[in-house]
Amino acid sequence: MTSLAELFPFGQEVEAVRKTRPNISIEFSIKILKHDFSNQKICNFSKDFLYFLCSQTECYRTINISLFQEKFMRTFYVSLIVLLFFVPVLSFSAEEFPVTKTLEPYVQSGDMAGFVTIIASHNTVLQVNAIGYKNLETKEPMTPDTIFWVASQSKPIAAVAVMILVDEGKLSLDEPFTTYLPEFKEIRVLQTKNEKQTVLVPPTKIPTLRQLLSHTSGMDWGAPLHRKFGFDILSYDEEATLFPTIPFIAEPGVKAHYSNMGINTAAMIVERISEKPYFEFLQERLFKPLGMKDTTFWPDLKRLATCYQWKSNEKKLAVKINERFSHPLDNPQRHPDAAAGLYSTAEDILKFYQMLLGKGMFQNQRILSEESVTEIIKKQTGNINSQYGLGMAILANGFGHGGTFGTNTIAKPAIDRILVYMTQEHALPKGTPAREAFTNLVK
């Protein structure tokens, strides 16, 4: 009988187990001890043997085996990334959810570069898929530990930072935010602007912290200085001087206007009240307790997925540079952008949503109160035609958030499911269809 130790050359790192079941089916499993197998080619298979291996497996959790076709369509290799976070024993199996069948055609057609996806419950990873490439030019494959710019998926994280301080009694959602940032006491609202005049008036009331987080404060999307020079050029202390000079575009609580300024103002408050830099607060109170080791404002460029846009004149994908920030992106002198500046992995984002779906608990740790989680994931916009909670989009069947480069996460409490979808694309024609096709796999 051929042992898995002979098939998978990991030496003493792998304990291969082969069990004969009463029904004569065979379970192939690998117990990973401790090693980093990132980007390592494990073994060559014939296509027929690989499919036989998958068909004979019985397991309760699934990790996808990505097939990369080599020259002349004769051999395949399996690139397996070991994620100790998920399960101590990984079993090869056919996919429970047909993610590869759904998304791989977008890569094969040249419409998308690649994806990393996770389907999970609040405490169990059900399936991980890495499909296609994180860089088309080098043909470097997507791997589960690939880093993505998650952009506006940073907003729910900012809301949790605020609610941690609410839980401690240091902040109140319904307090005028100038209580915490007196620099904003002289704010003005744009009443009229035309060729002849611009009229600014005091607001009828001061926005609350709740309104900052639900995009109903009346703040504009972004400061003109940021739009021109980048969103990472100023510290929060500097923005606390700049932002009060920018007119609000509406009265507080009157209409919804998506506002990165509002989220960043909330982050200023976190810094001010906690007396810690924003990222240090996130690290101490959220990222380390959740094990979000790869979530940062300064990504590891070697692991960062390349973003692609459509080059219509050549009818192919072309690299899209992130113009929101200064480069290099790993420069520690860049300032955090709480509204849209975080980089992360599928695994890290999953942990964050598992905490929310767990009503503030994660692996027996209380991160947030149940009451605060409820505030985040319920509609906060009243009669305004906007489905938004606190830093969170409210959906018909759950809650979640997307990012401008195509990432998206949805939590569905009624069926205890989380769908993490990672890619890097800018307005690609097939970007939305691909995302919806993945989302529709879990009803």
pLDDT digits (tens, 9 = 90+) for 213-249: 999 999 999 999 999 999 999 999 999 999 999 999 9
> Predicted confidence band at 314 (pLDDT cuts at 50, 70, 90)?
confident
Is the pLDDT assigned to residue 140 strictly greater than 80?
A: yes
**CA–CA distance from 262 to each of 19, 214, 382, 390, 434 (Å)?**
58, 9, 18, 11, 31
> Which residues, 6+ apart, have CB-to-CB distance to 192 below 8 Å?
198, 199
pLDDT for position 44: 34
Average pLDDT over all residues of the chain: 84
pLDDT for position 68: 35
Whose structure tokens read 């860089």? Answer: 135
Q: 403: phi > 0 → left, psi -120 to 50 → alpha, else beta; which? A: beta
Q: How far is Cα of residue 349 from the mean position of the Cα atoms in its chain?
A: 5
- Which percentage of the chain shows pLDDT scores above 70? 79
Average pLDDT over residues 80-90: 35
Q: CA nearest 115: which of 278, 374, 346? A: 346
- Which percentage of the chain shows pLDDT scores above 90? 77
> Predicted confidence band at 196 (pLDDT cuts at 50, 70, 90)?
confident
Is the pLDDT assigned to residue 51 strictly greater than 70?
A: no
Triad 426, 307, 236: Cα angle to 5°: 85
Decide: 344 and 324 in contact? Cβ < 8 Å: no
pTM: 0.81
Q: CA nearest 351: which of 290, 416, 419? A: 290
pLDDT for position 424: 98
Is the pLDDT assigned to residue 284 strictly greater than 90?
A: yes
> Predicted confidence band at 195 (pLDDT cuts at 50, 70, 90)?
confident
Domains of the chain, each with CATH number or no CATH:
1-94 (no CATH), 158-274 (3.40.710.10)
How far apart, in whole angstroms, are the C-alpha atoms of residue 440 and residue 417? Answer: 12
When mean pLDDT is compared across 29-33, 183-187, 368-372, 428-432, the lowest value belongs to 29-33
How far apart, in whole angstroms, are the C-alpha atoms of residue 108 and residue 409? Answer: 24
Is the pLDDT assigned to residue 155 strictly greater than 60?
A: yes
Average pLDDT over residues 153-157: 98
When mean pLDDT is compared across 95-99, 284-288, 391-395, the lowest value belongs to 95-99
> Which residues, 6+ apart, have CB-to-CB distance to 411 below 8 Å?
353, 356, 357, 377, 398, 399, 400, 417, 418, 419
> Predicted confidence band at 94 (pLDDT cuts at 50, 70, 90)?
low
Decide: 160 and 368 in contact? Cβ < 8 Å: yes
SS3 per residue for the chain:
CCCHHHHCCCHHHEEEEEEECCCCCEEEEEEECCCCCCCCEEEEECHHHHHHHHHCCCCCCEECCCEEECHHHCCEEEECCCCCCCCCEEECCCCCCCHHHHHHHHHHCCCCCEEEEEEECCCCEEEEEEEEEEECCCCEECCCCCEEEEECCHHHHHHHHHHHHHHCCCCCCCCEHHHCCHHHCCCCEEEEECCCCEEEECCCCCCEHHHHHCCCCCCCCCCHHHHHHCCCCCCHHHHHHHHHHCCECCCCCCCCCCCHHHHHHHHHHHHHHHCCCHHHHHHHHHHHHHCCCCCECCCCHHHECCCEEEECCCCEEEECCCCCCCCCCCCCCCCCCCCCCEEECHHHHHHHHHHHHCCCEECCEECCCHHHHHHHHCCCCCCCCCCECCCCEEECCEEEEECCCCCEEEEEHHHCEEEEEECCECCCCCHHHHHHHHHCCCC
Q: CA nearest 162: which of 149, 151, 171? A: 171
